């Protein structure tokens, strides 16, 4: 009984969690829709619209940046510190991955597009894992 009471969230935590979810949801839905459109080949890769469809992925990316900034502003000092430390770890992974990609491209190994995507996804997953590990220790 006591352990269950310790894990309850305060009203402000619930409000922050809901706001975080609402900030991220449009970007994730947009990325999902764009991925489905891309995989099904509905927009075509030729013609004058190729640049438009390629740059359209920046909109959800910028929305994610907005969501991260808003969540950092809502966080208290301790949560902000945990988040920024996890971001730093993820950024370090991205820098090393891009460095490795440069070396692979100099040796003409692999496809640049896939390597960059894998590096980006890997750094975000590292950021999330670092945040989960850091916050799990404090619970």
Q: Going residue by residue through the chain, which has 139 residues, state the pLDDT in tens, using 9 for 90 and above.
A: 455 555 677 887 788 888 888 998 999 999 889 888 877 777 666 667 778 877 888 999 899 899 989 988 888 898 899 999 999 999 999 999 999 999 999 999 988 888 888 998 899 999 989 988 988 766 5
Same domain, 23 and 89: no
Same domain, 58 and 95: no
Same domain, 57 and 68: yes
> What pTM was estimated for this model as a whole?
0.69
Residue 83 CB neighbour total at 10 angstroms: 19
Choose among 137, 90, 5, 66: nearest CA to 74: 66
Final residue in a domain of this structure, among 26, 55, 74: 74
Domain enclosing residue 129, as ranges = 76-139
pLDDT of residue 53: 79
């Amino acid at each position: 009984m006591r352990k269950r009471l310790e894990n309850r969230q305060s009203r402000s935590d619930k409000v922050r969690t809901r706001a975080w979810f609402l900030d991220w949801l449009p970007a994730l839905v947009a990325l999902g829709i764009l991925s489905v459109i891309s995989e099904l080949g509905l927009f075509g890769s030729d013609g004058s619209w190729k640049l438009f469809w390629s740059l359209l992925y920046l909109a959800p990316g910028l929305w994610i940046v907005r969501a991260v900034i808003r969540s950092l502003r809502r966080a208290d000092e301790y949560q902000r510190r945990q988040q920024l430390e996890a971001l730093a770890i993820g950024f370090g992974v991205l820098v090393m991955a891009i460095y490795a990609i440069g070396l692979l491209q100099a040796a003409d190994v692999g496809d640049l597009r896939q390597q960059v995507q894998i590096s980006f996804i890997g750094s975000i997953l590292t950021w999330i894992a670092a945040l989960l590990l850091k916050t799990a220790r404090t619970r």
